[in-house]
Amino acid sequence: MHNDKTTTNVDDRKSAAMKKVLRQAEMRRKREESQRAQQCQERREEGLKERKARGEERHRREELQKQADEEERLKRQEQDIKQRDVEEEAWQQFEQHPPERLTVANLPQFSAAALRARLLQRDSNHVFKEMSLRWHPDRFLPKFGHLVKSEDQDAVRDAVTTIFRSVRRCWDASRDKANQENA
């Protein structure tokens, strides 16, 4: 019987040792699992921080680009206004002191940029009417045609027609833009 008790004690000790080893293994597994979960969470948080930082950087770049675009637009607008003033002065000079002989080379200056500046500052219908009275071939040629030599008539008429077409395109674009903004 003593032998059975010794065997039972040995078995109990083995069983207790085995349980201890299993508990330690389970604790080690849980600790490792917890560490992996924590590392995974840290990587996720790190990834979120990186994505957020990239998003903030992208937003910052977009804002800087918008600002640069706006500065460029304002600079272009300022140049257009200066060009408009130069053209307006040239037109006044042309009307007050027309050349003895009108050719394509001495037609008053015209640029779409200056016309855009006019359209920004006044009603497009008013601007179109003003520019039509100035540049429409049926208005311009009767007013200044006597200054054009016969050999220059076709070239001057073509130049004035081209200018008027530019006026019309700018006016159409301005109306289309206004219609889109109002829609």
pLDDT tens-digit readout, 121-168: 778 788 888 999 999 999 999 999 999 999 999 999 999 999 999 999
Q: What is the pTM of this model?
A: 0.62
Q: What is the mean pLDDT of residues 33-45?
A: 90
What's the confidence (pLDDT) of residue 75?
Answer: 92
Tell me the pLDDT band of 4, cut-offs 50, 70 and 90.
Answer: low
pLDDT at 2 over 60: no
10 Å Cβ neighbour count for 136? 16
Angle formed by the axes of helices 112-121 and 153-182, nearest 10°: 40
Residue 111 backbone dihedrals phi, psi, to 5 degrees: -145, 145
